[in-house]
Amino acid sequence: MKRTLCEDSDTVTGSKKKAKKNLNWVSRQKVRCGEVPKNGGICSFSGERRNHKRHCQTEHPWAVEPYKIRNDAFGVGGRWDWRVTEGAVPDQQGDNPRVVDAGPVQELQPHVESAPRGAAVSSSTETVIAPAQPHGCQLEPRVANLEKDQQRLFHLVKNAGEKAPPPAEASSTGAYDFALLHHARDISDVKKAAQNHIICLPDDNLVYCAVCRPDFDASNTMSKGGKAGLIKYEFSTGTSFPKPAVMPTAFSRLKESVREHLISKTHKRCLEAKTRDSEKEAKAARLQGSVSYRVIRTAYHVIKHSMPQLQFEKMITLQDINGLNMGNIGHSFMQMNRFRREFFLEVLELLTRHISRTACVAVMADKVTVKHRTIDITAVMAVVPEAPSGHLIQSFVVGAPVVKKHDGTSLANGWIKTLAAVGIKSPKQIAAICTDGQYHGLSVPSKFLEQLAKTQEDVRERSMSPCVPMLWDGAHLLALAEDSAKDEDKCLWVWAVVNSITRVTKRHTTGKGRELLRNAQKKLGLKKKCPRLWSTTRFAPHAAAVLKTFLYNMPAYLHCLEAEYRTSTARPDAIEVLRNDLRLLRDDVCFRGQVAALLDVYQVLAAGSRDLQSLQKLPWERQGDFADMVGKLTAMAGALKAAVRPKRREEGVNKAGERKGSSNLRLIKAMPHVRMVADLDQLSSSPTSGVVDDMLKSVDRLRALEGGLNR
């Protein structure tokens, strides 16, 4: 049995026919209270009509009787109006003379709910019911209704004002003042309304957006970005039009163009990007000023400059004394291992990400002995497009494992493990392999490529022969050529000079000899330079530095050897060696000339070696530098011959060093006169020979006058 509510009575009937006659009523009609309690908010009661009156009497005794739907207000089209009692404001009366329209309170509007299946369809399934009032226009009910509406609006604004979302246009366009823009009569008001994002160029008659075109160039208006954010305006029209002046059409169009640009998608996208960048910069600034960032920066400084771990604690203490807040954790030198590991993993991850986006890389390897342990330095060379123009090609050390087995297979396996850590797992990712002769002698590159191909999942890649060029390092080849030249019979004097330099330098590298050298440098007014020892495994730049330091410290070495010789109580053989070294530095001019000549040669070789090791030069550029180096060495040899040959002829010594029966000493002394005679002969045959004759006559008269004065 369905229960129905009749319009004129609250009786319940079980007749289905009676319910069908009046389609405006449904069974179990629900209502919602909607009153505003004293503590704020809105009453959430929702139930049947018969329980609503009891609820209002219990919970809201101060409230008026609930609203009621007026069935006689239905229109022709089946629409209805929500009505209140006659006590409402007269200006808000509707078409029905007995009722007036409700105020603009959103919470008083109906909330539509779907009726259960099979129930009769009504104009609304949820209503706020109000009983009918007697006809008339009374003052007190109107005042009471106005006070209640005012109280409801106050509570709604107080409770939901902060939660309400901002207007879509304001939130998406940076809170621009479009009202000010609409009423603006001055260009300054337009800028103010646009948050000063609009920049004016009166000389070019242009107005552009600083957000969309941060790097705007007036001479290139069709740069990247097209015409977005660029507006033309004739500034000769004027920039201020106070009332009652008539605003020109051009200025109105300018305001409209500015408004259209500010609400455009392009400007919103640029503004969002600028906001994100500003937030990132602010976050980075806060991070750089934090305590943890200071500690991490200190650890990075220690690691970058290869300082001892104890230096980390000292630098933390120094910064704390200088007034910086360094915190109280992570200051132990034992944390350096953790910092070093984290830095390594972070850089390795960045490098792996870069290699994954790169077509190919080059692999380089070399051995280094550190603290009696051989380390296999493995590096990759890649192109970095984001780097400056002078650093597009960079090399990265990706591993330095300790070499336990010195055979080719073990070294190749070490390469595979090291390169797999940075994502190099296929021969296609390798453009070339460059090593020295030791690796080529053990066939490490070929074994590495074969084993790397076997690890591929694709059968075709495993069966294909890798096509990767295996090169010798240019600097190593230059060092091999240098060693071969020094082993020639004509260059045995080079090893004699090198041995003498090493013998003298070793006396002053450590201990008392080092102290004597420092005192001698201070006494002679020389800058302190530490002595360097010759190395057969280093390249030409190191040899040039050794020779240059030896020549600079030679006066100090001589002073130290003289003092040591005067006070020496060593064995006779040691004193003899000391005497020979002293004579070598003091009396042997040939030795000093040989050292200076070697320095000149090795400076040229050092420049060539650096060019061969430069990463920023292309192969043909390095070949050109190598040709220039060879040309310089050839020119030096020719200049040396041109300087030595006349001296040999003067002494009557031929090319082989043998004596001749004649001497060219007189010819050498007469060469200035020969040149003068040749010049005069050439001038006598020239068009200015008359001038030469007059000059010679004047010279003769001067000589005669000089002779007369002498007599």
Domain boundary among 457, 472, 487: 472
Q: Is residue 155 domain-shared with residue 79, that is, in the same domain?
A: yes
Q: Is residue 153 domain-shared with residue 27, that is, in the same domain?
A: yes
Domain boundary among 472, 502, 537: 472
Q: Is residue 490 domain-shared with residue 549, that is, in the same domain?
A: yes
Maximum CA extent, the chain: 170
Quick one: three-class SS letters along 53-110? Answer: HHHHHHHCCCCCCCCCCCHHHCCCCCCCCCEECCCCCHHHECCCCCCEECCCCHHHCC
- Calculate mean pLDDT across residues 240-268: 89
Model confidence band, residue 288 (pLDDT cutoffs 50, 70, 90)? low
The answer to whether the beta carbons of residues 555 and 524 sit under 8 Å apart is: yes
**pLDDT tens profile 174-225:** 578 888 888 888 988 888 888 888 889 888 888 888 888 888 877 765 554 4
pLDDT at 654: 59
> Which residues make beta-bridge pairs with 367?
376
Pick from 387, 394, 435: nearest CA to 616: 394
Cα–Cα–Cα angle for 624, 630, 633, rounded to 5 degrees: 145
**pLDDT tens profile 531-548:** 999 988 888 999 999 999
Range with the poorest average pLDDT among 44-53, 349-358, 393-402: 44-53
**pLDDT tens profile 649-679:** 656 665 555 655 455 666 666 677 777 777 7
545 belongs to a structural domain: yes
- Mean pLDDT of the residues in the chain: 76
pLDDT at 9 over 70: no
> Which residues make beta-bridge pairs with 432?
362
Cα–Cα–Cα angle for 538, 539, 545, rounded to 5 degrees: 90
pLDDT at 335: 84
Sequential DSSP letters for 532-601: ----SSS-HHHHHHHHHHHHHHHHHHHHHHHHHHHH----HHHHHHHHHHHHHHHT-HHHHHHHHHHHHH
Two tokens, residue 341 = 């590991």
pLDDT at 29 over 50: yes
pLDDT at 370 over 70: yes
Q: Is residue 421 domain-shared with residue 504, that is, in the same domain?
A: no
Q: Residue 483 burial by CB count (10 A; 0-12/13-18/19+): exposed, middle or buried?
A: exposed
Pairwise CA distance, residues 239 & 207, whole Å? 12
656 belongs to a structural domain: no
pLDDT at 36 over 60: yes
pLDDT at 710: 57
The answer to whether the beta carbons of residues 394 and 382 sit under 8 Å apart is: yes
pLDDT at 303 over 50: yes
pLDDT at 487: 87
Number of domains in the chain: 6
351 belongs to a structural domain: no
Pairwise CA distance, residues 695 & 710, whole Å? 23
pLDDT at 629 over 80: yes
Range with the poorest average pLDDT among 162-166, 388-392, 466-470: 162-166
Q: Note the Cα 273 to chain centre separation in Å.
A: 18
Residue 387 DSSP class: S
pLDDT at 17: 40
Pairwise CA distance, residues 619 & 626, whole Å? 11
Residue 653 DSSP class: B
Model confidence band, residue 323 (pLDDT cutoffs 50, 70, 90)? confident
> Which residues make beta-bridge pairs with 397?
379
Between the CA of residue 492 and those of 538, 550, 674, what are the distances in Å? 20, 20, 41
Pairwise CA distance, residues 18 & 21, whole Å? 5
Q: Is residue 75 domain-shared with residue 193, that is, in the same domain?
A: no
Q: Is residue 81 domain-shared with residue 148, that is, in the same domain?
A: yes
Domain boundary among 419, 437, 472: 472
- Output 100 or 634, whichever has higher pLDDT: 634
> Which residues make beta-bridge pairs with 364?
379, 434
- Output 176 or 170, whichever has higher pLDDT: 176
- Calculate mean pLDDT across residues 565-571: 82
pLDDT at 28: 56
What's the one-letter identity of residue 449?
L
Q: Is residue 302 domain-shared with residue 401, that is, in the same domain?
A: no
pLDDT at 379: 92
1 belongs to a structural domain: no
Range with the poorest average pLDDT among 168-172, 314-318, 480-484, 664-668: 168-172
Q: Is residue 147 domain-shared with residue 189, that is, in the same domain?
A: no
Q: Is residue 115 domain-shared with residue 221, that is, in the same domain?
A: no
Range of the domain at 494: 479-613
The answer to whether the beta carbons of residues 468 and 427 sit under 8 Å apart is: yes
Q: Contacts by 364-371 with C-beta closer than 8 Å and gap 24+? A: 364/395, 364/433, 364/434, 364/435, 364/473, 365/415, 365/433, 365/435, 365/439, 365/444, 366/435, 366/436, 366/473, 367/403, 367/438, 368/400
Pairwise CA distance, residues 318 & 316, whole Å? 5
pLDDT at 572: 85
pLDDT at 286: 75
**Token pair 């007059």 is at which residue?**
694
Q: Estimate the share of the chain in helix, then strand, then coil, as percent rounded to the nearest 5.
A: 55, 10, 35
Pairwise CA distance, residues 648 & 646, whole Å? 5
* Burial call 663-702: b when 16+ CB within 10 Å, e when fewer: eeeeeeeeeeeeeeeeeeeeeeeeeeeeeeeeeeeeeeee
**pLDDT tens profile 66-106:** 444 444 444 444 444 444 444 444 444 444 443 334 444 33
pLDDT at 592 over 90: no
Pick from 19, 11, 55, 28: nearest CA to 113: 28
Model confidence band, residue 605 (pLDDT cutoffs 50, 70, 90)? very high
pLDDT at 708: 60
332 belongs to a structural domain: yes
Q: Is residue 266 domain-shared with residue 309, that is, in the same domain?
A: no
Does residue 365 sit in helix, strand or coil? strand
Pairwise CA distance, residues 332 & 310, whole Å? 9
3 belongs to a structural domain: no
Pairwise CA distance, residues 113 & 159, whole Å? 26
Pairwise CA distance, residues 433 & 361, whole Å? 9
pLDDT at 378: 92
Residue 149: other Cβ atoms inside 10 A: 17
Instruction: Round to the nearest angstrom and report the end-to-end CA distance of the chain.
Output: 167
- Output 417 or 283, whichever has higher pLDDT: 417
462 belongs to a structural domain: yes
Q: How many CA atoms lie within 13 A of 65 on its CB side?
A: 12
pLDDT at 363 over 90: yes
CATH of the domain at 454: 3.30.420
Q: Is residue 489 domain-shared with residue 396, that is, in the same domain?
A: no
What's the one-letter identity of residue 467?
C
Between the CA of residue 97 and those of 24, 127, 243, what are the distances in Å? 22, 22, 48
What's the one-letter identity of residue 30?
K
pLDDT at 153: 75
Q: Is residue 20 domain-shared with residue 155, that is, in the same domain?
A: yes
- Output 664 or 118, whichever has higher pLDDT: 664
623 belongs to a structural domain: no
pLDDT at 114: 43
